[in-house]
Amino acid sequence: MIKNFIQAARLRTLPLSISGILLGSFLAFSKGYQNYTIFILALCTTIGFQVLSNFANDYGDGVKGTDNENRIGPKRAIQTGVITKKQMLTAIISTAVLTFFIALALIYVSFGKENFIYSIIFLTLGIFSIAAAIKYTMGKNAYGYSGLGDIFVFLFFGLVSVCGSYFLYTKQIDYTIFLPAISIGLLSVGVLNLNNMRDIENDKISNKNTIVVKIGSKKAKQYHNLLVIGSFSAMLFFSFLNDNHFFNYIYILAFLPIFLHLKRVNSNSKPRLLDPELKKLALSTFLLVILFGISRILG
């Protein structure tokens, strides 16, 4: 049973989910704000949100019948019956409660008693994050079924993750950090867009009206191009504003496999063949963050 829940947690999604936290932390560390307790708690909170989202996605798509024999990606727990609906609901509630308390600890360590307003703001963000993780596919008004998934991924994986984690350390905002936050947010949307391009036929049948279903595969590829080019441009603009040494640009190396990925996506004619590209783009995004962090701290 534990093995089944570990598989349902989809640990392969974690590198992308923690990329924003790592990026915000690297930006703070590079300016002398180092607190490893905040770092560990922020990572644990983010992992909790991601696992919660994966459980909820498994449950929501399973109940709605979207996960069926026509689905191209890996088989899900509810779909195969290795975890019952009741067991998954229990896991969702338990993960939400545990993540909430980790988030409370993070907020207390970061702001203490003297920054009550900040604590309230981040507590509200935490509650919204839990709600967003659950409501992606669960319930009658699941936003993932109405084409709003891209917006939520951009906000939570990009802006909230990067800028929020940076603020936890520094208690201030440097507005230029919105540029790398935008970059990671756009690449995260790119991963979701790939997923939706892969599943377009089954999503149509299941009334899951993603952006890809609404605009079609051809325009979805153009959309994907804009996401990647926008990410590259935002990161370069940040470096233009803040960096004056070539070492600070080593993260560009991570965009080489990303642009090769883009070439494969544009030449693709079979949605099934897009499945390996999800992992490649997610890991390339993680590599981008690591190289960016190294360049900021050592540059």
Give the CA distances from residue 215 to residues 117, 219, 242, in Å, rounded to whole numbers and listed in that order: 42, 6, 37
Percentage of the chain exceeding pLDDT 90:
66
pLDDT, one tens digit per residue, over 42-61 is 999 999 999 999 988 888 77
Name the maximum alpha-carbon separation found in the chain. 57
Number of folded domains in the chain? 1
Do the beta carbons of residue 291 and residue 250 sit within 8 Å? yes
pLDDT, greater one: 136 or 258: 258
Residue position matching structure tokens 């969702």:
92
- pTM recorded for the entire structure: 0.94
What was the pLDDT predicted at 213?
93
DSSP 8-state assignment for residue 138: S
Residue 227 is part of which domain span? 2-298
Q: What's the confidence (pLDDT) of residue 275?
A: 87
d(CA 228, CA 113): 42
Radius of gyration of the chain from Cα atoms?
19
pLDDT in tens, 81-138: 788 889 989 999 999 999 999 999 999 999 998 889 999 999 999 999 999 999 888 8
